[in-house]
């Protein structure tokens, strides 16, 4: 038997349930939606979670469409799934947990007697470190972003190679290989010896079908490559950035982005222009380094200093 929250499955079975983590403000108990797919044959364990940021729904789309396709009688090993991590943020379609105004992916490994976010982090971290591989499905929030996979443990981490391999197997096409901030699951779980990646499935309001499909392909690539399923997966070279430069606007106004997402940009190339409300040019911002046009804000209006776009730099093929 494999148990995750109230989901319990014998070999060859799958089940769904709730992972209880406390009570809401009205005193009702609440739990995260979880699933167990227990393969008929022994094997490794994969943990997948989505909506760690409450407005990042593409990962939920991946889980929703992947789970019905998983047949435990054809599976070796076990898949543990948490479909919605940031319960409170998901309810109100926000990024951060409104109970403590915290970003969940800064709260790992969590604390089971701590804040709301720390308790949820601790509950899901337990499942993550019981696994052999972890996929923490994210996206570039509601901005526009390429589909990519983040390796966050840092190049000097003892699990760097394993995390990078997992990212290459997932196979979005792009990898950002850069040590992340403290509190990320993709940093905390490798410290416990579990290769972990943070697939970033585009960026949108609601669902993006192309990004969801790329995420589903990524999950099946992992299942085939690591022997959960009988299928075969050959890894393909990925475009890897190890630097990430963010650009803000030096003036207020309306932006006009020049490159498209995924375009190669040269040093000195124009990234965006800012005009005033009446169409008069105010500023033209160029790239400090060459790289890949990675992410951009969705709305055109900006204040001085406000985020506009990002370029992945130090690009190679891995
Ligand atoms: Zn996220």
Residue 147 region by backbone torsions, left for phi larger than 0, else alpha for psi between -120 and 50, else beta: beta
**Tell me: the pLDDT tens digits for 284-300?**
999 999 999 999 999 99
CA of 65 to the centre of ligand 1 (A): 20
CA of 61 to the centre of ligand 1 (A): 14
Can you tell me the distance from the alpha carbon of 73 to that of 10, in angstroms, rounded to the nearest whole number?
11
Beta-carbon-side half-sphere exposure of residue 25 (alpha carbons within 13 Å)? 4
Q: Are strands 196-201 and 147-151 parallel, antiparallel or unpaired?
A: antiparallel
Q: According to CATH, where is 2.40.50.100 located in the chain?
A: 241-317
pTM exceeds 0.85, yes or no: yes
Can you tell me the distance from the alpha carbon of 97 to that of 277, in angstroms, rounded to the nearest whole number?
35
CA of 274 to the centre of ligand 1 (A): 28
CA of 198 to the centre of ligand 1 (A): 8
CA of 142 to the centre of ligand 1 (A): 10
**Tell me: the pLDDT tens digits for 86-96?**
999 999 999 99
- Full DSSP string of 229-267: SS--------EEEEEEEEEE-SS-EEEEE-SPTT-EE-T
CA of 285 to the centre of ligand 1 (A): 27
Query: What angle separates helix 160-170 from helix 209-225, to the nearest 10 degrees?
Result: 120
Can you tell me the distance from the alpha carbon of 301 to that of 195, in angstroms, rounded to the nearest whole number?
40
CA of 267 to the centre of ligand 1 (A): 29
For residues 99-120, give the mean pLDDT: 98
Q: Does domain 2-226 have CATH number 3.40.630.10?
A: yes
**Tell me: the pLDDT tens digits for 126-178?**
999 999 999 999 999 999 999 999 999 999 999 999 999 999 999 999 999 99
CA of 245 to the centre of ligand 1 (A): 18
Arch. (CATH architecture) of 241-317: Beta Barrel (2.40)
**Tell me: the pLDDT tens digits for 244-287?**
999 999 999 999 999 999 999 999 999 999 999 999 999 999 99
Closest CA to 276 of 297, 303, 306, 316: 303
CA of 117 to the centre of ligand 1 (A): 14
Asked whether 184 and 198 are in contact (CB, 8 A), the reply is yes
CA of 53 to the centre of ligand 1 (A): 5
CA of 18 to the centre of ligand 1 (A): 22
If you count them, how many residues does the chain have?
318
Strands (E), the chain: 2-4, 7-9, 13-23, 29-38, 41-50, 76-82, 133-137, 144-145, 147-151, 174-177, 196-201, 239-248, 253-257, 264-265, 270-275, 281-286, 291-296, 301-302, 307-317
Signed CA dihedral, 259, 307, 61, 48: sign only: positive
CA of 278 to the centre of ligand 1 (A): 36
CA of 200 to the centre of ligand 1 (A): 7
pLDDT tier at 14, thresholds 50, 70, 90: very high
Q: How far is CA 189 from CA 129, 168, 198, 206, 242, in A?
A: 6, 18, 11, 28, 20
CA of 281 to the centre of ligand 1 (A): 34
CA of 144 to the centre of ligand 1 (A): 13
Q: Which pLDDT score, from 0 to 100, does residue 124 have?
A: 98
Closest CA to 194 of 120, 242, 127: 127
Q: According to CATH, where is 3.40.630.10 located in the chain?
A: 2-226
For residues 198-216, give the mean pLDDT: 98
**Tell me: the pLDDT tens digits for 213-230?**
999 999 999 999 999 999
Q: Which pLDDT score, from 0 to 100, does residue 240 have?
A: 98
């Amino acid at each position: 038997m494999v148990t995750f929250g109230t989901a319990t499955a014998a070999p060859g079975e799958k089940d769904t349930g709730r992972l209880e983590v406390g009570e809401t403000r009205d005193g009702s108990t609440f739990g995260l939606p979880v699933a167990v797919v227990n393969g008929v044959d022994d094997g490794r364990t994969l943990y997948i979670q989505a909506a760690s940021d409450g407005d990042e729904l593409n990962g939920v789309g991946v889980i929703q469409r992947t789970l019905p396709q998983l047949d435990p009688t054809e599976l070796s090993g076990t898949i543990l799934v948490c479909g919605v991590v940031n319960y409170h943020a998901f309810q109100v379609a926000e990024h951060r947990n409104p109970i403590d105004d915290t970003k969940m992916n800064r709260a790992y490994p969590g604390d089971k007697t701590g804040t709301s976010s720390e308790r949820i982090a601790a509950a899901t971290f337990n499942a993550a470190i019981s696994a052999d591989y972890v996929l923490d499905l994210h996206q570039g929030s509601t901005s526009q972003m390429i589909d990519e996979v983040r390796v966050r443990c840092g190049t000097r981490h003892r699990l760097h190679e394993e995390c990078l391999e997992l990212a290459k197997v997932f196979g979005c096409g792009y990898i950002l290989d850069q040590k992340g901030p403290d509190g990320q699951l993709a940093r905390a779980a490798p410290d416990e010896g579990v290769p972990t990646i943070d697939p970033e499935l585009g960026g949108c309001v609601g669902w993006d079908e192309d990004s969801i499909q790329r995420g589903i392909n990524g999950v099946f690539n992992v299942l085939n490559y690591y022997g959960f399923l009988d299928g075969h997966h050959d890894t393909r070279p990925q475009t890897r950035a190890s630097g990430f430069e963010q650009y803000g606007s030096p003036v207020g106004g309306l932006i006009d982005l020049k490159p498209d997402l995924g375009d190669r940009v040269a040093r000195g190339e124009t990234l965006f222009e800012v005009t005033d409300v009446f169409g008069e040019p105010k500023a033209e911002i160029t790239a400090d380094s060459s790289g890949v046009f990675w992410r951009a804000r969705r709305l055109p209006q900006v204040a001085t200093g406000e985020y506009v776009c990002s370029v992945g730099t130090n690009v190679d093929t891995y």
